């Protein structure tokens, strides 16, 4: 049986961080399950969806910030590096942090908005839910542009999320505590592509 890349990673976390520091600004790199990943640059609809979510978070929870493009240490033993589309945390939480933040306390929700690239299925729908759950992030919100749905992953336990309900664009989506936000998703229909 061949070992997985998680058991025998392509490189060390330190080597990944060195490569990532020297990557051009037009390239977003991640280190998920022991593999170097290239994350697609967001298009206009992706950006509009992020701004829609940011407005809803600011209106309902002004005590929290939705930080775009936040680097997080994820997976078992924090051996992975994920660049979230957004990380929801109390205001000021990331002050003094470097490029990659620990998720042990303060990160309430990770957000990913799917892109139209070959790795989206594995990265956003398989690897990241596992990595975020292993890191203990209470909520992972996946806004899936391919299926026009939102999936709310919650209750991380034993490295997986126990709850994973999906909702179609147009539904009201309640994000569980500690997030406690209700999303009116009707506007997302404007960004279906």
pLDDT in tens, the chain (193 residues): 444 455 666 778 788 778 888 877 777 776 777 777 777 677 789 899 999 999 999 999 999 999 999 999 998 767 889 889 999 999 999 999 988 998 877 999 999 998 877 677 677 788 889 999 999 999 999 999 989 999 999 999 999 999 999 999 999 999 999 999 999 999 999 987 6
- 2's CB contacts (< 8 A; 6+ apart) are none
Domains of the chain in sequence order:
43-191 (3.90.1570.10)
pTM, 2 dp: 0.84
Rounded distance between C-alpha atoms, residue 160 and residue 91, angstroms: 27
The token duo for 169 is 């664009």
Cα Dmax for the chain: 52
Q: Alpha helix (H) ranges present in the chain?
A: 13-21, 44-60, 120-122, 128-134
Burial of 148 per CB tally in 10 Å (0-12, 13-18, 19+): middle
């Amino acid at each position: 049986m061949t070992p997985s890349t998680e058991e025998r990673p392509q490189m060390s976390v330190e080597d990944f961080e060195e490569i990532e520091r020297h990557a051009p600004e037009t390239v977003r790199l991640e280190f998920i399950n022991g593999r170097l990943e290239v994350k697609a640059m967001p298009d206009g609809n992706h950006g509009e969806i992020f701004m829609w979510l940011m407005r809803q978070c600011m209106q309902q929870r002004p005590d929290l910030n939705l930080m775009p493009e936040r680097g997080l240490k994820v997976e078992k033993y924090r051996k992975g590096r994920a660049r979230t589309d957004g990380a929801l945390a109390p205001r000021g939480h990331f002050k003094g942090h470097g490029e990659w933040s620990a998720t042990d306390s303060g990160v309430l929700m990770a957000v990913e908005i799917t892109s139209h690239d070959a790795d989206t299925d594995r990265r956003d729908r398989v690897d990241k839910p596992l990595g975020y759950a292993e890191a203990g992030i209470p909520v992972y919100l996946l806004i899936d542009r391919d299926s026009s749905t939102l999936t709310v992953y919650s209750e991380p336990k034993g490295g997986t999320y126990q709850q994973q309900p999906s909702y179609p664009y147009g539904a009201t989506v309640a994000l569980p505590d500690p997030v406690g936000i209700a999303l009116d998703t009707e506007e997302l229909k404007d960004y279906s592509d």
